[in-house]
Amino acid sequence: MIVVAIDGPSGVGKSTVGKALAASLGVPYLDTGAMYRAVGLLARRKGLALPITEADDAGALAEQAEILVTGSGGDVRTFLDGEDVSAEIREPEISRYASAVAAIPRVRRRLAARQRELALAGGGVLEGRDIGTRVVPEAAAKFFLTARPEVRARRRYEELVRKGTPQELVAVRAEMEARDAADSSRADSPLSCDGTYVVVDTSDLSAGEVVERLRQLVLGPGAG
Ligand code: DC
């Protein structure tokens, strides 16, 4: 059974690469950020205001909600209590809510336990912020993707243009850096890289090149 952990900040290509790598290895793909986004969406729908604190009881929301992230390749979907919220969870406001609820230990405990269960049941490529440090630290293949900040901001900017919801590049970069700083500095399982990861800088590589490199590292140099 293959378990691959992919961690890193936003805009490094984790989702694009993770989906393609999972398809090429023939294992499930799990976007763990989508689960935090679903809890973030629920928090906003319940009228919680940012910043969210432990007193807001986002933990109870995460425990009661039924969150399902399904599919692979081009058709990955997120369901919240049976409703398809795949598009709504990508809104910039929900990115802020996701990062906020992700700092609450009870939310993390709940989601990380579910993610670990899925990984151990069927293997897969899991991508997020704490997959190699907390969810499946024993995974044989652990990758930490990085890219220069201007490259990451441009990728996110182009993604928003493609989706028909463009924003100023400077605003995209500021928002991205604020979220990465929050994700890296929270007390509970922050985004962090240690010697157990293989670090891959994706700044000057195409998605296909990154997938190929990771695939070779997972399967060994003899793999076709
Ligand atoms: O990968 P993403 O941008 O969709 O993730 C949304 C937020 O969820 C991100 O700001 C950090 C948080 N997250 C996390 O704390 N741990 C994970 N394993 C995945 C995401």
Domain ranges of the chain: 3-219
Give the number of other Cβ atoms within 10 Å of residue 114's Cβ. 17
Q: How confident is the model at residue 223 (pLDDT cuts 50, 70, 90)?
A: low
Whether residue 26 is predicted with pLDDT greater than 90 in this model: the reply is yes
Distance CA(141)–CA(197), nearest Å, equals 8
The whole-number pLDDT of residue 10 equals 92
> How far apart are alpha carbons 173 and 155 in whole angstroms?
10
* Average pLDDT score, the chain: 95
pLDDT at 39 over 90: yes
Q: 92: exposed, middle or buried (C-beta count within 10 Å: 0-12, 13-18, 19+)?
A: middle
Q: Which of 17, 30, 36, 90 to mutate to test the pocket of ligand 1 (most atoms within 8 A of CB)?
A: 36
Say whether domain 3-219 belongs to CATH 3.40.50.300.
Answer: yes
Mean pLDDT of 173-190: 96
Question: With a 6 A CB cut-off, is 44 part of the ligand 1 pocket?
Answer: no
Model pLDDT for residues 70-82, shown as the tens digit of each residue: 987 778 999 999 9
pLDDT tier at 159 (50, 70, 90 boundaries)? confident
Atom 14 (ligand 1) nearest CA: 129
When pLDDT is averaged across residues 175-181 and rounded to a whole number, the result is 95
pTM of the model: 0.96
Among 7, 97, 99, name the best residue to mutate to test ligand 1's pocket (greatest count of ligand atoms within 8 A of Cβ).
99
Is residue 96 lining ligand 1, measured as CB closer than 6 Å? no
Residue 160 near residue 168 (C-beta atoms within 8 A): no
The tokens for 20 are 């393609």
